[in-house]
């Protein structure tokens, strides 16, 4: 019902604009007649423009109809020419007949060769205008349909990415994982404190990774906690670990787009070298004027067999997510990957969230 009302209002609005166009056009021609010092004929002008409007709106429809029915180009051109000749003859006849009846003069008095040629050119003029209008309308409609199709496709792709993310999250039973990690922590902490700390850190990482954020945002501090725990768990696995880390905390309750920073951190560790002092990795995250500035640099171990498993989302998801949230100009993401190194720079706005 609501859609029908909206459609009716839109249709009435379109009709109103068209009536306004014809009114302005008639007034324009009447002004020309006035300055040319020709006698005004309001009734004849209205009658003539009713016929002109009919030609304007129906000529392009006739051409489109013949185009759909006739596929041979030569027969199509011939059919359009014949149809136009017939329509023009009928239009000229009715215009002359109408003028004769309105002015109470004989038909032949208005059927001079000059008058007929003038009316033919007039018909060609409005037929051409109608064809241009119809063609432009079809082009705009097709572009609008294409834009709607692209928008629907983007929505479907976004839903597919979210579904993929939900599948990834649901692959592990959270209760089983946390109960098991809690048991291992309780059993090992007293005898092996370092192992116990690693277990509780891993538990925090898993809990965060499996926590759903329905609005697509996470608190900035929770993201930072995850990153610190993620680095800590990898540091605990290595006898030598060289990584310069600077993560600037914020007193402002900011929120950040979920999984963006996490994926970038995972990419660092996926092929990175962290056990050589001469190839120290760098991670720098700061906040300026409500924007997060992320910078990472690590050297790559192309022969590594112990590749870190990522969440399966990757840079494509990051770009899609940031594009949806901020638009093409709302963020900066630069990735410079060579055979030996991986460098990433990201600047994106943060969302202020006032806690209740």
- Give this prediction's pTM: 0.46
Residue pointed to by tokens 């309750």: 253
Q: What are phi and psi for residue 342, nearest 5 degrees? A: -140, 120
Return the pLDDT at 305: 45
Whole-angstrom Cα distance, residue 166 to residue 169? 5
- pLDDT at residue number 7: 56
75-124 pLDDT per residue, tens: 888 888 888 888 888 888 888 888 777 777 777 766 778 878 888 888 88
The answer to whether 296 and 343 have CB atoms below 8 angstroms apart is yes
**Helix, strand or coil, per DSSP, at residue 191:** coil
H/E element, 332:
strand 332-337
DSSP assignments along 87-129, one per residue: HHHHHHHHHHHHHHHHHT--TGGG--HHHHHHHHHHHHHHHHH
Tell me, what's the pLDDT at 182? 61
pLDDT for the residue numbered 195: 63
Neighbour tally for 216: CB within 10 Å? 14
Low-confidence stretches of the chain (pLDDT beneath 70): 1-8, 33, 36-40, 109-110, 163-215, 302-313, 354-356
- The helix (H) or strand (E) run that includes residue 290 is none
Q: Within a 10 A sphere around the Cβ of 294, how many other Cβ atoms?
A: 19
Buried/exposed 119-141: b ≥16 CB within 10 Å, e otherwise = beebbeebbebbbeebeeeeeee
- The per-residue pLDDT for 239 is 80
pLDDT of residue 311: 45
- pLDDT value for 271: 77
């Amino acid at each position: 019902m609501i859609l029908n009302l909206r459609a009716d209002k839109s249709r009435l609005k379109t009709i109103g604009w068209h009536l306004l166009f014809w009114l302005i056009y008639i007034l324009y021609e009447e002004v020309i007649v006035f300055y040319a010092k020709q006698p005004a004929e309001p009734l004849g002008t209205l009658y003539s423009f009713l016929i002109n409007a009919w030609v304007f709106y129906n000529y392009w429809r006739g051409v489109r109809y013949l185009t759909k029915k006739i596929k041979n180009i030569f027969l199509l051109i011939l059919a359009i020419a014949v149809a136009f000749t017939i329509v023009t003859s009928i239009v000229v006849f009715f215009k002359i007949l109408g003028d004769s009846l309105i002015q109470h003069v004989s038909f032949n008095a208005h059927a001079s060769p000059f008058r007929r040629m003038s009316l033919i050119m007039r018909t060609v003029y409005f037929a051409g205008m109608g064809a241009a209008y119809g063609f432009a309308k079809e082009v705009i409609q097709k572009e609008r349909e294409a834009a709607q199709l692209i928008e629907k496709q983007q929505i479907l792709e976004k839903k597919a990415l979210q579904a993929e993310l939900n599948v990834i999250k649901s692959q592990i039973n959270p209760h089983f994982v946390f109960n098991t990690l809690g048991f291992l922590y309780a059993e090992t902490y007293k005898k092996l404190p370092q192992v116990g700390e690693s277990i509780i850190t891993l538990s925090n990482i898993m809990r965060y990774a499996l926590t759903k954020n329905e609005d697509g945002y996470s608190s900035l501090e929770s993201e930072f906690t995850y990153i610190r725990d993620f680095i800590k768990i990898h540091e605990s696995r290595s006898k030598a670990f060289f990584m310069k880390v600077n993560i600037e905390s914020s007193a402002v309750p900011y929120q950040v787009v979920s999984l963006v920073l996490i994926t970038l951190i995972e990419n660092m560790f996926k092929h990175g070298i962290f056990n050589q002092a001469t190839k120290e990795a760098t991670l720098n995250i700061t906040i300026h004027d409500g924007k997060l500035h992320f910078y990472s640099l690590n050297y790559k171990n192309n022969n590594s067999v112990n590749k870190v498993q990522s969440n399966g989302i990757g840079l494509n998801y990051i770009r899609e997510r940031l594009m949806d949230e901020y638009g093409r100009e709302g963020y900066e993401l630069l990735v410079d990957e060579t055979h030996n190194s991986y460098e990433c720079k990201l600047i994106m706005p943060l969302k202020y969230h006032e806690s209740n």
